């Protein structure tokens, strides 16, 4: 309860607080670097990479035990790209099985922020960050979205994402500082008039949310959003199809920005749809060192964050696929899924919205949502270590039913494993309906 009150206060008053107080000094450093020349960015990126690798073999248990390179030799190397080849590829499962082995000794006893996600694969990822790293991440988004005039602390924004979720019988919107929060589970005919009234009254300058949820809003209004003229639509946290981008851009009559990233935060890329022209994703070289790993004809994206000295993931196998060109653009980003489910009323709901609560990741390694008939879902869970007992299973099912019971009949089933797809991923959502 206190955390929610603190969050409300933060968003209500942050526009009155000077930026130098809101953000870590590194936020401003990154902003300046993103405005520097390509040569300067390349120099800094290489310096950051060599320092990260040297720090990892000194302070991170996993790398200290597996990579036998003198830290000083790393710092004095010609380039970080040469040294990084001495590091093994990091499998997702290796990290998931022992995340504490990747936590730097220098941060082990400091207060950290915990982030969890199932991503598009349904696998539980837990990472730790500092306020510094959170603000560095924000600096990259602030820079990319500044092209549209967007500012996190001041822009009037319609926000449609998980942090806006409300019980189905509660009003669909509320104002949080400079943001109009719209619950993604409310984008159905029942609330159409209320949503239209509230959006028009708030008059947002930007729309910011999950692609599936924003697309649901567009479909609700019949591909035209009356009375709303945002400067841009900012999409994040999900894969989005090209037809969705064009539909969203047409409905809002605005450019659309979408990013590729992940909870592990090893890579970030942006693309844009403006005036009907769609650019490819382009990886940000100042954010992470990106590579391709060719196997069975597929170009897997391998990422290494340049800034994460808290929990460095070096040569991390993302299980996302796309060929990286010399200029950092990605051709045909594959390997991510976005599926929909059909609730009792026949309404489409983005499957990624149904997820277990954050505390259950201590018990659950991975899960999958399956649907074979409208209004019903099976949640398959794979225990992290020991099988869940009946009390734990009932508690998990009760939590899910409380969140989504108005839409679905949910059952939780414990299984030994969830099969991989042909591309080596676990689908988070499988809908067997036509």
Residue 185 confidence (pLDDT) above 60? yes
pLDDT at residue 258 greater than cutoff 90: yes
Q: Has residue 159 got a pLDDT over 50? A: yes
SS3 of residue 323 by DSSP: strand
* Confidence label for 147 from pLDDT (cuts 50, 70 and 90): very high
Local structure of 74: helix, strand or coil: helix
Mean pLDDT of 24-50: 96
Question: Are the C-beta atoms of 236 and 210 separated by less than 8 Å?
Answer: yes
First to last CA, the chain: 42
Tokens of 430: 């499988």
Of the listed ranges 7-16, 221-230, 265-274, 334-343, the least confidently predicted one is 334-343
Q: Tell me how many degrees the CA angle 13-14-18 measures, rounded to the nearest 5.
A: 120
| pLDDT score of 423 | 40
* pLDDT (mean) for 242-268: 90
351 vs 144, more confident: 144
Q: Is the pLDDT of residue 166 over 50?
A: yes
Within the chain, which residue ranges are assigned CATH 3.30.300.30?
340-431
Spelled out in words, what is the top-level CATH class assigned to the domain 340-431? alpha beta
For 346-358, write each residue's pLDDT tens digit.
887 767 678 777 6
pLDDT, tens only, 81-131? 999 999 999 998 899 888 899 999 999 888 888 877 655 555 567 788 999
335 has a pLDDT exceeding 70 = no
Say if residue 298 is exposed, middle or buried (CB neighbours under 10 Å; 0-12, 13-18, 19+): middle
Q: Which residues pair with 342 in a beta bridge?
A: 348
Q: Where in the chain is the domain with CATH 3.40.50.12780?
A: 135-334
Per-residue confidence band for 383, with pLDDT thresholds at 50, 70 and 90: confident
Within 10 angstroms of residue 244's Cβ, the number of other Cβ atoms is 21
Band (pLDDT 50/70/90 cuts) for residue 62 is: very high
Which has the closest alpha carbon to 260: 333, 208, 187?
Answer: 333
Of the pLDDT bands very low, low, confident and very high (cuts 50, 70, 90), residue 422 is very low
Distance CA 434, CA 338 (A): 15
CATH class of 135-334: alpha beta
Mean pLDDT of the chain: 87
C-alpha to C-alpha distance for 56 and 51, rounded to whole angstroms = 9
In this prediction, residue 244 carries a pLDDT of 83
Check if the beta carbon of residue 279 is closer than 8 Å to that of residue 272.
yes
């Amino acid at each position: 309860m206190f955390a929610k009150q603190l969050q409300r206060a933060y968003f209500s008053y942050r526009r009155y607080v000077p930026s130098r107080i809101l953000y870590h000094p590194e936020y401003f450093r990154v902003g300046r670097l993103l405005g520097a020349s390509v040569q300067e960015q390349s120099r800094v990126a290489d310096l950051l990479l060599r320092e990260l690798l040297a720090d990892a073999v000194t302070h991170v248990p996993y790398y200290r035990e597996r990579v036998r390179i003198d830290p000083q030799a790393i710092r004095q190397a010609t380039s970080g790209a040469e040294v990084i080849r001495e590091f093994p590829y990091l499998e997702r499962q290796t990290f998931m099985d022992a995340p504490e082995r990747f936590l730097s000794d220098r941060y082990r006893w400091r207060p950290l922020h915990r982030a969890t996600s199932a991503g598009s694969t349904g696998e539980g990822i837990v990472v730790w960050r500092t306020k510094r790293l959170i603000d560095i991440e924000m600096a990259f988004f602030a820079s990319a979205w500044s092209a549209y005039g967007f500012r996190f602390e001041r822009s009037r924004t319609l926000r449609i994402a998980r942090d806006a979720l409300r019980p189905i019988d509660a009003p669909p919107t509320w104002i949080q500082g400079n943001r109009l929060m719209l619950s993604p589970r409310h984008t159905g005919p029942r609330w159409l008039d209320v949503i239209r009234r509230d959006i028009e009254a708030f008059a947002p300058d930007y729309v910011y949310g999950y692609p599936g949820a924003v697309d649901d809003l567009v479909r609700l209004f019949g591909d035209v959003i009356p009375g709303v003229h945002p400067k841009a639509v900012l999409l994040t946290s999900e894969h989005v199809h090209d037809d969705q981008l064009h539909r969203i851009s047409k409905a809002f009559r605005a450019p659309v920005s979408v990013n590729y990233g992940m909870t592990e935060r090893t890579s970030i890329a942006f693309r844009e749809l403006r005036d009907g022209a769609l650019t490819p994703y382009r990886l940000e070289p100042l954010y992470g060192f990106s590579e391709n790993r060719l196997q069975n004809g597929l170009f897997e994206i391998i990422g290494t964050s340049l800034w994460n000295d808290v929990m460095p993931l070096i040569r991390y196998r993302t299980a996302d696929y796309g060929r990286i060109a010399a200029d950092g653009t990605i051709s045909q980003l594959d390997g991510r899924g976005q599926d929909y489910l059909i609730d009792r009323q026949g309404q489409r709901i983005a499957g990624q919205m149904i997820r277990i609560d954050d505390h259950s990741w201590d018990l659950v390694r991975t899960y999958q949502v399956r649907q074979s008939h409208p209004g019903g879902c099976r949640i398959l869970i794979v225990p992290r270590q020991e099988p869940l007992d009946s009390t734990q299973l009932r508690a998990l099912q009760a939590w899910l039913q409380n969140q989504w019971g108005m839409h679905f009949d949910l059952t939780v089933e414990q299984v030994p494993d969830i099969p991989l797809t042909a591309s080596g991923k676990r689908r988070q959502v499988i809908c067997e309906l036509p």
